[in-house]
Structure 1
Amino acid sequence: MAANGLKHRHPPASVKLEYKNRTEAQIKDGEHHPGGPIKHGTYGQALRMVLLAAYFLGSCICIFVTQLMGAPLYFFNQDLYYAWMALTKQHFGLLIATMTQWWSPTLVRVSGDKSVRGQLRRTKDGRLECDFEERMILIANHQIYTDWLYLWWIAYTAKMHGHIYIILKESIKWIPILGQGMMFYGFVFLSRKWAKDKPRFQHRLQKLSGRHSGPMSGSQSLDPMWLLIFPEGTNLSKNGRAGSKRWADKAGLQDLQHLLLPRSTGLQFCLQEMRSTVKWVYDCTVIYEGVPRGQFGQDIFTLKSTYFQGRPPKSVNMYWRRFAVSTIPIDDTKEFEEWLRQRWIEKDKLLEHYVQTGRFPADDEEAPSADGGKAVKGAGYIETEVKPASPIEFFQIFLPVMAMGLVINVVVKFYRMFVRTIFGAMA
C-alpha cells in the first residue's frame, strides 16, 4: 500500500521545511532545533533531571517490589501469578505515560488505512482509543530509542498495556531492577546468535500461546498478547543507514531512504510458531516531526533535549495498517523475505509522503468496517497527547507497596503489643 494517489484533505502539518537545509552541527548546538528553543536553564534542567530520576527510579523500585510480592503465586496458582504480573506491567505503562506527560508533553497524530477502519477513534475528552485485536504481532520501523514508549502507550489506549511483550537485546536484562523487572514481564531477550537464540525463542513463544483463566485473561480462551518486533534490529542512525546501503548494494536490492532494510528471520519464526494462535500482524510506521532529510532523530531528540531542556518532538506521527497472517507466505523463506521487503518499501514511500506534505495519508471514507461490519467512517487524523485517562491513575503504581507497608506496620504493632502483654503477665 503506497501513498501514491491518496487525497490530501488537510493542509500540511508543521513539518518545518526550513529545517531541511540545517546542518547536523547546527541542530546539535541548539540552533534551529525542531523542538524549539531551550525552555529551561542550567538549574532548571538539573532540577528536572533530579525529579525525573526520583520519579522513574522510585516507581521502578515500587513496581519491582510489587513483582517480588507476587512471585510466590507461581508455585500456588499460576493464573493469579500471570494476572499479578500483568497488573505490574500496567503500572509500568502508567509510569511511562505520566513521565511523558509531565516531562515531555508531545502531540501524537494517528491515522491508518482502511484495514484498521473502525478501530481508531477519538473520545469526547480528546483521548485516543484503539480497538485492536487482543492477540497480534506488532511490527514497526525503529526511529529512536523511545519508539517502544509510544507503542506501549498505544497498548494503553487499547487496554492492553498489561499484555505487551517486547523482543530486546540480551544485555538489557542485566540492568539492575529494570532488567529483572522485564524478566518478570516475560520479555524475550536475544543475543543475535540464531543457533543460541532459536530454542530460547521457541520456548518463549510457546509460553505466549498459553491459556489461563485469571482475572487479566481477556475475552478469548488464549491469553491476550501484543508481541512487539522491530525487524530492522536497531534504530535508524548514520552507521546503520550506511550498513543497510552496503547490504542492499551487495545483495542487489532496492535501497531505502528513510529506513533500514528489515531482517526477516525472527519475524518469520514468530509467525510460523504462532500461526495457530495469532491471526493478525499490525504494522506501525512512525516518524518524528522536524528531523531534516538525511539526518537522524536519535541525534536530535536525545534524553537531554527531550526531557531536561524541554524540547521534545513537536509531534509523533503514526500510520497504522494490518495484515492477515493467512495471507503472508510464512513457509517460504525467499517469498517471505520479499513480502517483508515490499512492506518496508511501502513504509519508505509513506515516510517520503510525510516529509513532502507534513502528514501521513488518512482513511476518512465511509464504508464497511475492516471486519466487514456495518458502514463506519474512517477516523481520519486523530490528534491527541500521551497521558493517562485520569490524572490520579498513576497512584496505582504505589498502592501495592503502600498496602504491604500498612500490613507490616499492623503486624509489628500487634507483635509488640503481644510481647508487652506476655512479659507484663509474667512480671
Structure 2
Amino acid sequence: MKAVEPRRCSPSLHDVSEQKSTTGLPGPTLDPVTAHPAGKAKYGRFRAFLRAVSVFIYFASGCVTIHATQLIGAPLYYANRDLYYSYMSLTKASFGLLITTMTQWWAPTVIRMSGDASVADQLRLAPDGRVECAFPERMVMIANHQIYTDWLYLWWVGYTNNPSMHGHIYIILKESLKRIPVLGPGCIFFGFIFMSRKMAVDQPRLAHRLRKLKTRHTDPDGESYLNPMWLLLFPEGTNLSGNGRNKSARWAAKMGLRDTEHLMLPRSTGMFFSLNELKGTVDYVYDCTVAYEGVPRGKYGENYFTLSSTYFQGRPPKSVNFYWRRFALADMPLDNQEEFDKWLRERWYEKDALLEQYVSTGRFPENAADIKGHIETEVRTQYWWEFIKIFVMLGSFGLIFSFFLRTFRALARG
C-alpha cells in the first residue's frame, strides 16, 4: 500500500482552485510514448481476444443465471410482496458480486478514498486491507459522472458497507436500456427506474417508484420499518465528454452562470423531485466526487477507459479516487426549486475545486478523521469463493426440480 505523507490540515475548498502541488506528487500527465493513463497495453490482440471471450462468457452466464433466478421467483409478487422484494434484493446482490468479481479478475483497480468531517469515522481500513464503510441503510447518493462505469465502482461501495448494501441499490437509467435482452428485464426486476428524459412522462413513473421505496412494512412483532435503500443519482445526466462540456458551457453563458472546468453543470429537477418524495424517510445525501488517475487536464476519461482497454487490454485505471461529503436534507431548500437549483450548483462548484486540486496534485484532500492520508484498497470481495453465490440459487432450484422429477418417475413406474 502506498504511504501518503500526512499534512496537518487540508486546504479549504475556496483555496483549492489556486493551489499548486504541496505533496510532492506529480499531477496527472501522460507519457508521450504510451499516450494512455494506464500505460501500454499488457496484452496483444490474440490474448486480448481470449480475455474478451472469457469476460463475455462469465458475464453472460452470470446474467442469464441471475435472470432465470428472477423468473423463478417472480410469482412471489402475487403471494407475498415483502418476500418478493427480499428475494429480488438477493438477485441484485448476485449482480453486484458478478461485476465486482469481473473487475477483480480482469481489471484489478486501486480505490483511494477520503472524506471531509461530515463522514468522519464512516470510512475505515480492515486488517485484511479491505475498506469498510459505515454509511446509513437509507440514503441518496450523488456523484459526478466521469465514465460509463462509474456506477460499477459505486455499486462496489455498497458491498463494502456494514451492513452490506449491494442488494439494495437503485439506479436511474435511460429507457432505451430496457430493450437490452436479459439485462433490461433483469433491471426491471431489480426495481431500477427508467427515464425518457421528458419530465412530463417521467414524473408520474418516478413518483410511483419512489412511493414504493418509502413504503413502510410491518415485521412479525408489529414493528413498522422501511426497507434499506441507496438511490444513486447522477445530476449531470450523462457522463463527461467534450460534447457535454460544450453544451454545459453554452448553457452557462446563456443563463449568465459561472461555468465549471472539470464537470458539467448539474440538472436539479429530478433530484429536487426525488428528495421531496423521499423526505421524512431519508435523512442524508452522500456526495461522491470521482476522479480517475492520469486523465490529463482538458481530456475525458471515457476516451481512455473503454470496455476494451479496461477489461481486454489490461489497462484499467491505475486508481479510482473518491472524496465523500454528507449533506442533511433538513439543511436543503427543498421548498423552492430555484433555491435548490442554486444550492446544488454551489455544491458542483465545490466539486470542481476538489477536482482542480486532484488534477494539480494527484490527490483529493486527506481524511478529516483519525485515519491520516487516504484509505487505499482494491475492488475485491472479502472471500475468493463468493462468486459461487451467483449460481447457488438457480443450482438449488435445479437440484430440487431434479429430485422431484426422479421421484415422480419412480412413482409412475411403480
Common fold: TM-score over 0.5: yes
Q: Which one of the candidate residues 247, 252, 258 is aligned to 2:251?
A: 247
- Partner Cα separation in structure 2 for residue 419 and residue 76 of structure 1: 31
Report if the CA contact (8 A) 1:362-1:381 is conserved: yes
1:135 corresponds to 2:146? no
- Mapped pair 1:308 → 2:299: no
> Aligned pair in 2 of structure 1 residues 78, 10: CA closer, same or farther (>3 Å)?
farther
| Partners of 2:284 and 2:224 in 1: CA distance | 15
Residue 212 (structure 1) shift? 3.3
Give the counterpart letter for 1:53 in structure 2. Answer: F
Distance 1:395 1:35, change over 3 A: same
Counterparts of 1:292-331 in structure 2, within 5 Å, are: 292-331=296-335
CA 1:382–1:418 in 2, change beyond 3 Å: closer, same or farther?
A: same
d(CA) in 2 for partners of 1:15 and 1:391? 35
> After superposition, where does 1:70-81 map in structure 2 within 5 Å?
70-81=73-84
Cα distance between partner residues in 2 of 1:13 and 1:298: 24
1:9 CA displacement: 12
Q: 2-side partners of 1:265 and 1:42: how far apart?
A: 45
Residue in 1 aligned with 2:29? 17
Q: Which residue of 2 aligns with 1:372?
A: none
- Superposed CA deviations along residues 144-201 of structure 1, whole A, max 9, x for unmatched, are 0000000000011111001100011111111111010110111111100111111111
CA separation of 1:88/1:248 partners in 2, compared to 1, >3 Å: closer, same or farther? Answer: same
Question: Which of 173, 176, 186 in structure 1 is aligned with 2:178?
Answer: 173
Name the amino acid aligned to 1:197. Answer: D
| Letter of the structure 2 residue corresponding to residue 412 of structure 1 | L
Q: Is the Cα–Cα contact under 8 Å of residues 3 and 353 in structure 1 kept in the other structure?
A: no
Kindly tell me the number of residue pairs found equivalent between the two proteins: 398
Letter paired with 1:157:
T
Name the counterpart of 1:102: 105
1:396 corresponds to 2:389: yes
CA distance in 2, matches of 1:33, 1:5: 27
Q: Structure 1 CA distance, aligned partners of 2:347 and 2:287?
A: 9
Q: Residues 204-353 of structure 1: matches in 2 within 5 Å?
A: 204-212=209-217, 221-353=225-357
Task: Report if the CA contact (8 A) 1:108-1:317 is conserved.
Answer: yes
1:331-356 CA-to-partner distances (Å, cap 9, x unmatched) read 11111111000000000000000011
Partner residue in 1 for 2:13 = 2
> What's the secondary structure of 1:17's corresponding residue?
coil
Of 362, 371, 386 in structure 1, the residue corresponding to residue 379 of structure 2 is 386
Tell me the TM-score normalized by structure 2.
0.92
CA distance in 2, matches of 1:220, 1:148: 31
Q: How does 1:14-93 map to 2 (within 5 A)?
A: 15-19=27-31, 31-93=34-96
Q: Determine if contact 1:79/1:214 at 8 Å carries over to the other structure.
A: no
Deviation of the 1:15 alpha carbon: 4.6
Q: Secondary structure at the match of 1:330?
A: coil
Partner of 2:54, secondary structure, is helix
Shift of 1:415: 2.2
Q: Taking structure 1 as reference, are residues 294 and 220 closer, same or farther at Cα in structure 2, changes over 3 Å only?
A: farther
SS in 2 for 1:34: coil
Q: What SS does the aligned partner of 1:331 have?
A: coil
For residue 80 of structure 1, report the CA deviation from its aligned partner.
Answer: 0.9
2-structure distance, mates of 1:3, 1:292? 22
Contact 2:115–2:368, Cα closer than 8 Å, also in 1: no
Q: Which runs of 5+ in 1 are unaligned?
A: 366-376, 422-427
Aligned twin of 1:163? 168
| Residue number among 114, 119, 122 corresponding to 1:116 in the alignment | 119
User: What letter is aligned with 1:4?
Assistant: D
Per the alignment, residue 413 of structure 1 pairs with 406
RMSD of the alignment, in Å?
Answer: 2.1
SS at match of 2:237: coil
Q: 1:210 to 1:294 in 2, by over 3 A?
A: same
Give me the whole-angstrom Cα distance separating, in 1, the residues matched to 2:341 and 2:14: 22
**Paired letter, 1:2:** L
Partner Cα distance (2:158, 2:313) in 1: 28
Deviation, structure 1 residue 17: 2.9
Percent identity reads 56
Aligned equivalents of 1:8, 1:415: Cα separation in 2: 76
TM-score, normalised by the number of residues in structure 1: 0.89
Is the contact made by 2:139 and 2:230 (CA closer than 8 Å) also made in structure 1? yes
CA distance in 1, matches of 2:182, 2:88: 15
- How far 1:117 sits from its partner (Å)? 0.2
**1:405 partner amino acid:** G
Instruction: Assess if the C-alpha contact under 8 Å between 1:135 and 1:278 holds in 2.
Output: yes
Shift of 1:380: 3.8
Alignment correspondent of 2:192 = 187
Aligned with 1:361: secondary structure? coil
Structure 1 pair 223/12, CA: closer, same or farther in 2 (3 Å)? farther
Secondary structure (helix, strand or coil) at the match of 2:124 reads: strand
CA distances 1:383-412 after superposition (whole Å, capped 9, x unpaired): 000001100011000001111111122122
Aligned residues of 1:8 and 1:361 also touching (Cα < 8 A): no
